[in-house]
Amino acid sequence: MDTTEPSGFETLRIEAPAPGVARIVLDRPEARNAQNLAMLYELNTAFDRAVADPGVRAIVLAASGPHFSSGHDLRERLGETPRPRTVGTWSGFDAPGAEGRFAHEQEVYLQMTRRWRELSKPTIAAVHGQCIAGGLMLAWACDLIVAAEDARFRDPVVAMGVLGVEWFAHPWELGPRKAKELLFLAESWTADEAHRLGMVNRVVPRERLDETVLEMAVRIAAMPTLAVRLAKEAVNRSVDIMGQSNAIDAAFGLHHVCHAHNMLRFGLPVDPAGLPEALRPKPPQA
Ligand code: ZN
């Protein structure tokens, strides 16, 4: 991949740390790598470029700054949301009521995440610091996850009046009992706990994260490409046949029952009581 060309990206960068390896780095550290629409679309473009480049045989997803990702950028989501461009098959993003919100989240959360999970090249997430809610979606979309010892995983969305993030892979990633615990208690889990549950492949000291992931990517890049691609395909199809794809679609519908409920009760897609103080709507001035 030619990294001498200006990438045109504002929220991430693409590096070529070794032959055959593309490294996409989320780069909004001042926002704890919160995923605004610009980042989601740029990430989609970056993945597409890496897939289209015949020289790339393995893709790393990493993040700059102290945290992997604090989730979806709620400031943008609760305010003026620029109209999404179409990556998936949905339309009607500007429609009023639940119609527009459902279309919007189909595009930028459900269909994009599914697309990234299905990329025809192997992907490794390198996670450090906080990996919250929508951050989990990015990591889960990757084939392998390597965590630094300081990584913390959390889906606090139940506290915001919604059943969990849009890509509802929790039961598959954690097992049903622990998935319920993560959701009900909205706790932060350590890298070791995530590793014990099988959600994370390896845990390494923070200073060894990048080299460990690169070493794995280089080894994978040296494998026969067809065999790697089809191994990925076979595992993904196995999980789909076990019902994951349908289960995620079913949960997505319930997710939107939660948004509709919160709109009726609070005039917001989430329960404001669960929002961080800075994002709660201000009461009207007397
Ligand atoms: Zn949502």
Rounded Cα gap, residues 106 and 124, in angstroms: 24
| The two three-digit tokens of residue 246, written as one number | 């349908």
Distance (Å) from CA 224 to ligand 1 centroid: 39
Q: Which residues are CB-contacts of 195 (< 8 A; sequence separation ≥ 6)?
A: 147, 201, 202, 203
Q: What is the pLDDT of residues 224-239, one digit of tens each?
A: 999 999 999 999 999 9
Across the chain, mean pLDDT equals 93
- Give the pTM: 0.94
Of 102, 131, 40, nearest to 256 by C-alpha is 102
Tokens of 154: 């959390």
Distance (angstroms) between ligand 1 centre and the Cα of 199 equals 23
pLDDT of 284 > 70? The answer is no
Q: How confident is the model at residue 4 (pLDDT cuts 50, 70, 90)?
A: very low
pLDDT tens, 109-123?
999 999 999 999 999
Residue 112 pLDDT: 97
Q: How far apart are CA 125 and CA 106, in angstroms?
A: 23
Distance 6 CA to ligand 1 centre (A): 33
In angstroms, what is the span from residue 15 Cα to ligand 1's centroid?
31
Tokens of 176: 């049903």
Cα 235 to middle of ligand 1, angstroms: 27
Ligand 1 centroid – CA 275 distance (Å)? 14
Q: Quick: pLDDT tens for 251-262.
A: 999 999 999 999
Q: How far is the CA of 166 from the centre of ligand 1 (A)?
A: 6
32: left (phi over 0), alpha (psi -120 to 50) or beta: left
Query: Looking up tokens 């097992």, which residue turns up?
Result: 175
Residue extents of the structural domains in the chain: 3-279
Ligand 1 centroid – CA 84 distance (Å): 15
8 CA → ligand 1 middle, Å:
29
For residues 217, 29, 164, 284, the Cα torsion angle rounded to the nearest 10 degrees is -170
The helices-and-strands tally (H runs, E runs) of the chain is: 11, 9
Residues near ion ligand 1 (CB < 5 Å) are 105
pLDDT tier, 285 (very low <50, low <70, confident <90, very high otherwise): low
What's the mean pLDDT in 166-195? Answer: 97
Gap between the Cα atoms of 260 and 134, Å rounded = 20
Please state which CATH class domain 3-279 belongs to: alpha beta
Helix segments in the chain, DSSP class H? 37-52, 74-78, 97-105, 112-117, 134-141, 170-174, 176-185, 191-196, 209-221, 225-241, 244-266
Residue 162 alpha carbon to ligand 1 centre in Å: 8
Q: Using pLDDT thresholds of 50, 70 and 90, give the confidence band for residue 84.
A: low
The whole-number average pLDDT for the span 145-174 is 98
Phi-psi region at 69: left, alpha or beta (left = phi > 0; alpha = psi -120 to 50): beta
